[in-house]
Amino acid sequence: MAGSPRPGRGDPRRLSGRRSRGPGLLVRLPPVLRTASVAAGLVLLAGCKPPPHPVERVEVVAASLAEAQVLALTPMQAQTELSTRLVPDRGFQLVDPGARGVDGAVRLTLELDAVQEQVNASGMPGIEEVTASLGIRRSTGDGVERITLQVIRSQPVEGDALEGRQEAARRALDLALDRLVKEARVHLDARRRDDGRLMKDLRARDPLVRDAATSALVARRNRAAIPALVERLRGDDPLEVRRAIGGLVELQAREAVPELIEISRGKDPGFLRELVYALGAIGGDEAQAYLYTMSQGHDQPAVRDAARQALEEMERHGRRGSQEPTPRNASLAPGGHPW
């Protein structure tokens, strides 16, 4: 979110799935990718398309490439793979390095969060799964605006073990980069729109447009995004659920606490720990009662400890409810247990 510091361990904002690996490696754009002038990048494209978003810098987190050894890519190669996709038809324009103070110019940072081989126990070919993140940063009149996007793409392994894995990982990376560029354009387009237009976009057929509108409203602390976030909690994509939880924390959406408690049913201890930290950050009577029950009666020590820590945070930041905690029981789960 705009201007927020990097979250630490246990902070509910970690629910976005983003991991930090240290500073990125700045790579100078190849001359062939530089635009002739900034003005050309701000001319409207054919039809009613909005002007492309100017990009002043592209970075690659070198440490993440070092860990993704199967890709066998240098930072320069990865940077070129991303930069070649930043063309006007895709909504971006690389600005001349000599131009300064370009209005609305963004900086992009690519990070390879993980490259994993998924073995198929049935004897079918395995797959290579690539998780990639794109950080978007730009200065505005209100401060620094940040957007973090993450995608996961996979491709089947074909041929010899090492060469087949590398080829599959490269194909998965291509898909991930294509998707990240598309999402970046849609999210940046949304940040140009007023709240009235964003409210309409919440009902768009395209889920990416809906997601970008929700993200933009959350960044503006507009509580109109809460119903869309609550709806997303019911989805099957764990990454989308975590993003929705993070948005509800940002908005301090106490009206969403019952839904957050509901999705705790049958979840593993790792997810429950994230959830209790989120509830502690939101606060209120119902969150307090739930956390009290979890801190006293959950069968996993790690979850009990997390709930106690969340209660302490509520106390420290004045987010406790107005009443003494009352244990929740049979309404939370079959058999009277909230877990």
- Which CB contacts under 8 angstroms, 24+ apart, belong to 115-118? 115/67, 115/68, 115/70, 115/71, 115/169, 117/70, 117/157, 117/165, 118/154
CATH architecture of 1-192: 3-Layer(aba) Sandwich (3.40)
- What's residue 122's pLDDT? 67
In angstroms, how far is CA 257 from the centroid of its own chain?
21
- What's residue 100's pLDDT? 72
pLDDT digits (tens, 9 = 90+) for 102-147: 888 999 999 999 999 887 666 667 899 999 999 999 988 778 899 9
9: which 2 tokens? 């361990």
- What's residue 193's pLDDT? 95
What's the predicted TM-score (pTM) here? 0.73
Q: What share of the chain is helix, strand, coil (3-state, %, to 5)?
A: 50, 15, 35
Q: Which residues of 228-258 are buried (b: 16+ CB within 10 A; e: fewer)?
A: bbbebbeeeeeeebbbbbbbbbbbebbbbbe
- What's residue 121's pLDDT? 67
For residue 222, CA distances in Å to 22, 141, 195, 335 come to 32, 19, 8, 39
Q: Degrees (nearest 5) of the Cα angle 202, 176, 26?
A: 105
- What's residue 233's pLDDT? 92
- Integer Cα distance of 181 and 83 in angstroms: 10
- What's residue 36's pLDDT? 40
- What's residue 12's pLDDT? 46
Q: What is the CA radius of gyration of the chain?
A: 22
- What's residue 103's pLDDT? 85
- What's residue 235's pLDDT? 87
- What's residue 162's pLDDT? 84
Eight-class DSSP state of 320 = B
- What's residue 230's pLDDT? 94
In angstroms, how far is CA 280 from the centroid of its own chain?
21
pLDDT digits (tens, 9 = 90+) for 171-186: 999 999 999 999 999 9
Q: 7 and 17 in contact (C-beta within 8 Å)?
A: no
Eight-class DSSP state of 42 = T
Give me the DSSP letters along 142-165.
TEEEEEEEEEEEEEE--SSHHHHH
Q: Please identify every stretch of the chain with a pLDDT value under 70, giving residue numbers as ranges.
A: 1-48, 120-124, 160, 320-339
- What's residue 139's pLDDT? 85
- What's residue 78's pLDDT? 95
